[in-house]
Amino acid sequence: MSSSVIVWFRDDLRINDNPALLAAIETGLPVLALYIFDEASEGIRPLGRASKWWLHHSLASLTKNLASRGVELVLMKGPAHAVIAELVQQIKPSALLWNRRYGVAERDLDARIKADCLKSGVDARSFNGALLYEPWEITTKTGDPMKVFTPFWRAAQALMAPALPWPLPTGKMSAFKPSSALNSLSLEDLSLLPKRDWAKHFPETWSPGEQGAQEKLDNFFESAFSGYAEGRNRPDYRSTSLLAPHLRFGEISIRDVFQRAGEAAHLNPKISDADLRSFRSELGWREFSNHLLFHNPALASENYNRTFDAFPWADNAPALHAWQRGLTGYPIVDAGMRELWQTGFMHNRVRMIVASFLIKHLLIDWRFGENWFWDTLLDADPANNAASWQWVAGSGADAAPYYRIFNPMLQGEKFDPDGIYVRKYVPELAALRAPAIHTPWLASPADLRAANVSLGKTYPLPIVDHAAARERALGAFKALKQGKS
DNA sequence: TTTTGAGTTGTTCGA
DNA sequence: GTCGAACAACTCAAA
């Protein structure tokens, strides 16, 4: 007779409001908590370097949190179906439970494992632990997937209020003790940390795990939530929640975030309806991205709008490299790219500016940007990253029109008016006064000397001219549009 | 089936 | 300095 239940953790590294874990506890059977580091299964995109750093620390945190409830997190490595088949063979559990992922390779893998389990008499069940709404729940009146955000989000919220978070049963869980030793690995065996010390400053900003996530949420409610509707555009001060990487790895429940935002807004009269709506709509974009990914599995690699397949992208390795390193000569762009490199994160407003610059000023294929973000962003998410890059490129759903080309000088002056953000990440310009800090090539020789800036030496001249690049992009995108008909 | 209103985040130009 | 229009029509979603 079987006597245990396996909870397979994936992108849900938390114990609070975790439907699969709760279901496992409710069976009353001893629980085995499992994580499989899988880079071997067909079609699964390997994590970027930043994500691996995060995963390492997040697993350490989950291990601790589970241990405090009496359960060990078992770590394994390899193609998930093989690992699970062997484990099932060894311990003969009565059930295997997990929370869903929405990429096609992940779904195929899960379906295969579910079928395997059913053949072996193991009850395999999946739950929604990642989204407010399942991607297939939201449709047009005719049953088709949605392609525009606003109707999508309206329909989602009209469908029903998102489910409330579940309280976790208190006390110790019943832990499964295997009779023979499991093939489990140590965290170090997974080799997730980078070899060079590129990530050494990440801990100044980040503390992966459930506690870190809750702290970020509380901080946000106390400081940036009031005025969020406007303030969220400002990279020069802490104006956003910083929850993205925690949400990426499921360290905090989206239902918890949604619900508690409502409570915080209710309690604090300084938080306006617009602030709440605005914050929740960001969660809505996360839902929308997953909706798009679910219905368009190739979202990260193929143009959603196939018209863009004919776009003549530039092959420009030096420009791509300058962009990646934050050496384009446009201070707000360079500050963003260096914030990314140094902290594993970039403010949302600046993400749009740097993405627009890569795509429209440099005419470089959005997929190069998507890949760089995938590798360097701690919150690199299969749905959000792909959907957002396509949105900026104009190839995505509900995308920006082609003539929307961000002016990096203007954006800098508007959203970083005192140059605080640029100064922080581009220290070689720190002594330049605003607004000249956003246009160093226009500063007088005397001002440059006084600020110790030598253009072309201590800081690059712009690698493209804004006005010329803008005209070039307008022409290229216009031609694409006309070529279609 | 046809019609209608609407669509995250911008920039530039000219009055 | 401020403000509205143009950019360019197109697609989506619902009535």
Asked if the Cβ of residue A152 lies within 7 A of any atom of strand C, the reply is yes
Instruction: Please confirm whether the linkage preceding A167 is cis (ω < 30° from 0).
Output: no
In a domain, A186, yes or no: no
Helix intervals (H) in A326-465:
331-343, 348-356, 366-376, 382-393, 408-415, 420-425, 445-450
**Which tokens hold the place of A336?**
């963003």
Containing domain of residue A30, as a range?
5-129
Would you put residue A429 in left (φ > 0), alpha (ψ -120 to 50) or beta?
A: alpha
pLDDT at A484: 52
In a domain, A172, yes or no: no
User: Which SS3 state, helix, strand or coil, does residue A36 take?
Assistant: strand
Out of A285, A316, A407, A441, the active site residue is A285
> Cα(A97)–Cα(A77) distance, rounded to whole angstroms?
18
Please indicate, yes or no, whether residues A241 and A375 belong to a single structural domain of this protein.
no
Question: From the CA of A148, how many Å to the C1' of C11?
Answer: 9
Cα A71 to chain centroid distance, Å, stands at 29
In a domain, A121, yes or no: yes
Nucleotides on chain B that have an atom closer than 7 A to a protein CB are 6-12
Task: With beta carbons less than 8 A apart as the criterion, state whether A87 and A37 touch.
Answer: no
Going residue by residue through chain A, which has 485 residues, state the pLDDT in tens, using 9 for 90 and above: 458 999 999 999 999 999 999 999 999 999 999 999 999 999 999 999 999 999 999 999 999 999 999 999 999 999 999 999 999 999 999 999 999 999 999 999 999 999 999 999 999 999 999 999 999 999 998 899 999 999 999 999 988 777 888 887 777 788 898 888 888 999 999 999 999 889 999 999 999 999 999 999 999 999 999 999 999 999 999 899 999 999 999 999 999 999 999 999 999 999 999 999 999 999 999 999 999 999 999 999 999 999 999 999 999 999 999 999 999 999 999 999 999 999 999 999 999 999 999 999 999 999 999 999 999 999 999 999 999 999 999 999 999 888 899 999 999 999 999 999 999 999 999 999 988 999 999 999 999 999 999 999 999 999 999 999 999 999 998 888 777 54
What is the total count of domains within chain A?
3
Task: With beta carbons less than 8 A apart as the criterion, state whether A310 and A402 touch.
Answer: no
Cα separations (Å) of A406 from A253, A319, A321, A350, A434? 34, 18, 20, 10, 19
Task: With beta carbons less than 8 A apart as the criterion, state whether A376 and A382 touch.
Answer: no
In a domain, A467, yes or no: yes
Asked if the Cβ of residue A143 lies within 7 A of any atom of strand C, the reply is no
Out of A366, A372, A374, A391, the active site residue is A366
In angstroms and rounded to an integer, the radius of gyration of the C-alpha atoms of chain A is 24
Domain-ending residue, one of A295, A321, A355: A295
pLDDT at A485: 42
Q: How many residues does chain A have?
A: 485
User: Which SS3 state, helix, strand or coil, does residue A30 take?
Assistant: coil
In a domain, A67, yes or no: yes
Question: From the CA of A408, how many Å to the C1' of C2?
Answer: 22
Nucleotides on chain C that have an atom closer than 7 A to a protein CB are 7-8, 10-15
Please indicate, yes or no, whether residues A36 and A105 belong to a single structural domain of this protein.
yes
> Cα(A158)–Cα(A147) distance, rounded to whole angstroms?
17
In a domain, A197, yes or no: no
Q: Is the dihedral of CA A235, A237, A241, A245 positive or negative?
A: positive
**Which tokens hold the place of A334?**
């360079």
Beta bridge partners of A116: none
Question: From the CA of A276, how many Å to the C1' of B2?
Answer: 38
Residue burial A321-343, b: 16+ Cβ < 10 Å; e: rest: ebbbebbbbbbbbbbbbbbbbbb
CATH of the domain at A40: 3.40.50.620
Question: From the CA of A106, how many Å to the C1' of C3?
Answer: 51
pLDDT at A197: 87
Question: From the CA of A147, how many Å to the C1' of B6?
Answer: 13
Residue burial A206-242, b: 16+ Cβ < 10 Å; e: rest: bbbbbebbbebbeebbeebbbbbbebbbbbbeebbbb
Please indicate, yes or no, whether residues A91 and A213 belong to a single structural domain of this protein.
no
In a domain, A459, yes or no: yes
In terms of Cβ atoms closer than 10 Å to its own Cβ (0-12, 13-18, 19+), residue A72 is: middle
Please indicate, yes or no, whether residues A15 and A58 belong to a single structural domain of this protein.
yes
Asked if the Cβ of residue A306 lies within 7 A of any atom of strand C, the reply is no
Asked if A366 is an active-site residue, the reply is yes
User: Which SS3 state, helix, strand or coil, does residue A324 take?
Assistant: helix
Residue burial A121-158, b: 16+ Cβ < 10 Å; e: rest: ebebebbbbbbbbebeebbeeeeebbbebeebbebbbe
Asked if A282 is an active-site residue, the reply is yes
In a domain, A182, yes or no: no
Question: From the CA of A396, how many Å to the C1' of B4?
Answer: 24
Please indicate, yes or no, whether residues A414 and A473 belong to a single structural domain of this protein.
yes
Out of A348, A371, A407, A441, the active site residue is A348
Footprint of strand B on the protein (CB under 7 A): A 148-150, 233, 281-282, 285, 348-349, 352, 388, 391, 398, 400, 403-407, 410-411, 414, 466-467, 470
Task: With beta carbons less than 8 A apart as the criterion, state whether A30 and A175 touch.
Answer: yes
Question: From the CA of A18, how many Å to the C1' of B15?
Answer: 60
pLDDT at A1: 44
Cα separations (Å) of A126 from A39, A110, A150? 21, 9, 29
> Cα(A261)–Cα(A266) distance, rounded to whole angstroms?
8
Cα separations (Å) of A270 from A144, A220, A225, A308, A448? 40, 13, 9, 45, 43
Helix intervals (H) in A179-328:
202-205, 210-222, 228-231, 244-248, 254-267, 273-295, 317-325
Please indicate, yes or no, whether residues A87 and A137 belong to a single structural domain of this protein.
no
Please indicate, yes or no, whether residues A460 and A370 belong to a single structural domain of this protein.
yes
> Cα(A390)–Cα(A370) distance, rounded to whole angstroms?
9
Asked if the Cβ of residue A183 lies within 7 A of any atom of strand C, the reply is no
Asked if A285 is an active-site residue, the reply is yes
pLDDT at A2: 53
pLDDT at A262: 96
The reported pTM is 0.97
Asked if the Cβ of residue A151 lies within 7 A of any atom of strand C, the reply is yes
> Cα(A16)–Cα(A25) distance, rounded to whole angstroms?
12
